[in-house]
Chains A and B, each alone.
Chain A
Amino acid sequence: MRELLHRLRLPLLFAGLAVIASISIFADQRALQAGGRDLSWWSGGLLEVAAPIQRVLTAPIDLVRGVWRNYVALLDAREENETLRHQLAEAQEETLQLREALVASQTLEQVAELRSQLELPMLATEVVGQDVSPWFRTVVLDRGRDHGLRAGMPIVTENGVVGLVTATTPHASRAMLILDRQSAVDGMVQRSRVRGIVRGTGAPEVDFEFTGPVEEVKPGDLVITSGYGGVYPKGIRIGEVVSVAQEAPYLVRRAKLRPAVSFERLERVFALLWRSPTLELLSGDTPAPPVLAAKPDEKATP
């Protein structure tokens, strides 16, 4: 019997690993559908170790790249300076006019109040690593649970949506980009208010799937978050329509979007310290208030 077990140990271990891996995949997918999860110490240990190592490895290369970029930028700085000066003057004039118009209509206070209501606390975080798999598009962030991050929180830049946090450890987290094949964001065309789903394809461009007349989505249209998906607040830029598939017979139409965020140069991003009520219900945990959860030295920017 012992000899038989010894002879069969490799096939048995092989089958055991296959079963464990299969169960793990389905469990992980389920957790992802519920907005992600906080990794335990044993599963998140590697991510914890990875973040500081990747930061150390990235720093010198970033330095060299920064010096090079700044040097090249200086070569035509004078010309660019003139252009920027001109643009600044125009922008200042425009701002002045807008401000005057707002004051004139006595809505400035109301607008300011509304803005403060909509604003969410944010936490700046660095991208310290990316995945090397051709199948998935995720990044490793150097902030985690101890800084107030939770699975399911949106990640943005000043340009638009980046993705959402899918796994956290105390000092690091992993975020899935909207380019990932598993990503789906509820979006709408800003001009025509047509709603649809923005799906990642693994490629630099994403798909926008919508129903309705094809004329309502045109190249150049801006697609923003609709706020319905239960993950992202409304009104954040997702991308610009590049092309629209014209096949008429299909109920669901598809447009290609160029993401508003340049994912190739993703360095500093902001985590919105907010989760929708849907995700709070699905996750079942009760996170500390985000601003309070942030470390005193890691100021959450309102």
Chain B
Amino acid sequence: MRAALALTAIGALLLVAEGALVSFLPALLLPDVALVGAVAAALFLDGPASLVVLAGLGFASDLLTGAPLGLHALSLLLPFAATRVANGSLELRHGVPEAVLVALVTPLAALAAVACMHLVGVRAGLGLAFWLGLALQTAVNAAVAPGACALAEGVASFTGDLDPTRRGVAYMGAAPWAASRR
């Protein structure tokens, strides 16, 4: 759980820093820290700890962006679940798979956010600008994903909270053909 708290604190600080940077850089060029952080946590921490990171970063995003409190946390649940499911059957803990995973879940999170906003009566158009912005945001998120995942892995290793159910290790041990290879 220490890793979860540390990652939440780091993520919150990055969100604050982004708030200052956005005065000089277009918002779409800055990564979605909450999403990338939640995915990284889902990959490297156990279930409850990664949910703590998701909730912490989600609510922090809401406080800093003026979104209805809880919107980011709710919309991040979908990519979080997708990551946990995918991580259960695929080896995703490498640079390229991490980037691809984040690229795939970024539109999921965006569409979930749109759905949540419609629920509370906030209009959010799905026009060309939305899709172009989403494409750019997806690319930025994917680019920073390996770095974020490395950070999450480093913190989890340091605190001893690295998820032991690492798919690759478990699979090699359990596979019928693994014994012959050994």
With known contacts A130-B23, A131-B65, A140-B64, A181–B137 Cβ distance under 8 A: no
Q: Is there contact, CB below 8 Å, between B67 and A136? A: yes
Assess whether B103 is interfacial by the CB under 8 Å rule: no
Assess whether B147 is interfacial by the CB under 8 Å rule: no
The answer, among A17, A131, A182, A201, for a CB contact under 8 Å with B22, is A131
Q: Is there contact, CB below 8 Å, between A18 and B77? A: yes
Assess whether A23 is interfacial by the CB under 8 Å rule: yes
Q: Is there contact, CB below 8 Å, between A50 and B123? A: no
Q: CB-nearest residue of chain B relative to A163?
A: B66
The answer, among B73, B77, B116, B122, for a CB contact under 8 Å with A182, is B122
Q: A-facing mask of B104-119, CB < 8 A → 1, else 0?
A: 0000000001001101
Interface stretch (choices A54-62, A70-78, A244-252) = A54-62
Which residues, 128 to 169 on A, are CB-close (under 8 Å) to B? 128-138, 140, 166-167
* Nearest CB in chain B: distance from A89 CB, A: 37
Assess whether A4 is interfacial by the CB under 8 Å rule: no
Most buried by B among A140, A176, A201: A140
Assess whether A203 is interfacial by the CB under 8 Å rule: yes
Q: Is the interface of B mostly helix, strand, loop or mixed?
A: helix
Q: B-facing mask of A34-50, CB < 8 A → 1, else 0?
A: 00000100011011011
On chain A, the residues within 8 Å of B77 by CB distance are 14, 17-18, 21
With known contacts A13-B48, A25-B71, A181–B55 Cβ distance under 8 A: no
Total A-B contacts with CB atoms under 8 angstroms apart: 155
Assess whether B146 is interfacial by the CB under 8 Å rule: no
Q: Is there contact, CB below 8 Å, between A29 and B20? A: no
Assess whether B143 is interfacial by the CB under 8 Å rule: no
* Nearest CB in chain A: distance from B105 CB, A: 16
Which residues, 108 to 150 on B, are CB-close (under 8 Å) to A? 113, 116-117, 119-125, 129, 133, 137
Q: Is there contact, CB below 8 Å, between B24 and A61? A: yes
Assess whether A268 is interfacial by the CB under 8 Å rule: no
- A127–B122 CA distance with the chains assembled, in angstroms: 25
Q: Is there contact, CB below 8 Å, between B125 and A201? A: yes
Q: Is there contact, CB below 8 Å, between A46 and B70? A: no
- A199–B122 CA distance with the chains assembled, in angstroms: 11
* Nearest CB in chain B: distance from A64 CB, A: 10
B: interface residue count bin: 35 or more
Q: Is there contact, CB below 8 Å, between A46 and B19? A: no
With known contacts A13-B48, A28-B70, A47-B64, A21–B19 Cβ distance under 8 A: no
On chain A, the residues within 8 Å of B32 by CB distance are 132
With known contacts A9-B47, A25-B71, A134–B19 Cβ distance under 8 A: no
Assess whether A180 is interfacial by the CB under 8 Å rule: yes
- A39–B66 CA distance with the chains assembled, in angstroms: 12
Assess whether A174 is interfacial by the CB under 8 Å rule: yes
Q: Is there contact, CB below 8 Å, between B16 and A54? A: yes
On chain A, the residues within 8 Å of B71 by CB distance are 21, 25
On chain A, the residues within 8 Å of B120 by CB distance are 25-26, 29
Q: Is there contact, CB below 8 Å, between B81 and A29? A: no
- A202–B68 CA distance with the chains assembled, in angstroms: 15
* Nearest CB in chain A: distance from B36 CB, A: 12
* Nearest CB in chain A: distance from B88 CB, A: 11
The answer, among B65, B84, B124, for a CB contact under 8 Å with A138, is B65
Most buried by A among B16, B23, B65, B67: B23
Interface residues of A (CB under 8 A from B): 9-10, 13-14, 17-18, 20-29, 32, 39, 43-44, 46-47, 49-50, 53-54, 57-58, 61, 65, 127-138, 140, 166-167, 174, 176, 180-182, 199, 201-203
Q: What are 18 A-B interface contacts by the 8 Å CB criterion? A: A14-B81, A20-B73, A27-B69, A46-B60, A50-B16, A53-B16, A53-B20, A54-B16, A58-B20, A61-B20, A129-B19, A130-B19, A132-B22, A134-B137, A138-B65, A182-B122, A201-B123, A201-B125
